[in-house]
Amino acid sequence: MTDDARNDPQDAIDSQGERRREELDDRIFEHSAGDEQEGIPFVGAGPGNPRLLTVAGKELLEEADLVVHAGSLVNSELLDEYCAHAELVNSVGKDLEELIPLMRDAYEDGDNVVRLHSGDPAIYGAALEQMDALEHEGVPTHFVPGVTSAFAASATLRTQLTLNEVSNHVAFTRPQGKTLTPEEDHISEFVEMGDVTTCIYLGTHAVRDTMDRLLEDDHDPETPVAVIYHASWPDEDVIVGSIGTIADKVEEAGYRASALVVIGDAVTGAGYERSFLYGDWANRGS
């Protein structure tokens, strides 16, 4: 492989995508999540609190020589606790043309390399394009799941994202903006379904635009909404309101950074019915 080919992540991504259409990777049938595997692990750091890092992630970080991390999206306390011995590289501001050779060369030199994403790399993590580029160059990779911020938010709210007779579905989504066209924004459709807990990954600056669009679509302004700023971080804050009031409350708080927005009756946990998981129904097959 020429140096030019090795340094063109887009060609690698296209090639791996075509290959994926033709056949499934054999490793799908050989390994389960949590298995020890060869290559560079793409580890979910969790939502913020270092205690929410998985055991597998902790073990990999403790053995790492190089950790490429997602900058301020990963709590510095986690880096201090588990990565102090390793070389740390902040991925923010670096493109694939820089990151891929960095990780590839370190791995080929025999270093233990960890790519550390915030939350879970499978949720808005842009991990697969890096993995495809590395795999194309002969560097194996694998996912190590993490706790996504929606789960930390539900724990903070002391409720479930799914509740019997309240919410049968959960939607992870983003609002329209730089990464999503208006046609790709389905938040209003999710809210209209009624029994969906809608979890929006976005900066707090987008809350008003999102709520204004919901009001324009005639959604009930009393629908519960919670904004969990920096879920599980030391400076976590919870703002609870409704479609009609939450924007004012968020702006009054002055937050401009990342937050998780939850829309739906599951926010309060009120009105749910007892489940069928216990009692005679659960034992009917005995």
Alpha-carbon distance 19 to 24, whole Å? 8
CATH architecture group of domain 9-146: 3-Layer(aba) Sandwich (3.40)
Closest-CA residue to 75 (of 259, 235, 250)? 235
Tell me if domain 9-146 and domain 150-268 are identical in fold. no
Residue pair 120/231 in contact by the 8 Å Cβ criterion: no
DSSP 223: S
How confident is the model over 166-215, as pLDDT tens digits?
999 999 998 877 677 778 889 999 999 999 999 999 777 789 999 999 99
Residues 87-99 have a mean pLDDT of: 94
Give residue 286's pLDDT: 54
pLDDT for res 215: 97
113 strand-pairing partners: 66
- In this predicted model, what pLDDT tens digit does every residue of 22-58 receive, in sequence order? 888 888 888 888 889 999 999 999 999 999 999 999 9
| CATH architecture observed for domain 150-268 | 2-Layer Sandwich (3.30)
Query: From start to end of the chain, where are the E strands?
Result: 40-44, 66-69, 87-90, 113-117, 141-144, 169-173, 196-203, 224-229, 237-242, 258-263
* Tens digits of residue pLDDT in 110-164: 999 999 999 999 999 889 999 999 999 999 999 999 999 999 999 999 999 999 9
Beta pairing, strands 87-90 & 141-144: unpaired
- Rounded to 10 deg, the angle between the 96-108 and 9-22 helix axes is 80
The pLDDT of residue 1 is 46
Q: What is the domain partition of the chain in residue ranges?
A: 9-146, 150-268
pLDDT of residue 279: 65
State mean pLDDT over 76-98: 95
Distance CA 206, CA 204 (A): 5
Distance between CA atoms of 100 and 129, rounded to whole angstroms? 10
pLDDT at 227: 96
pLDDT value, residue 145? 97
pTM score, whole prediction: 0.89
Q: Which pLDDT does position 8 carry in this prediction? A: 77
4 pLDDT more than 60: no
The dihedral region occupied by 182, where left means phi > 0, alpha psi between -120 and 50, and beta the remainder, is alpha
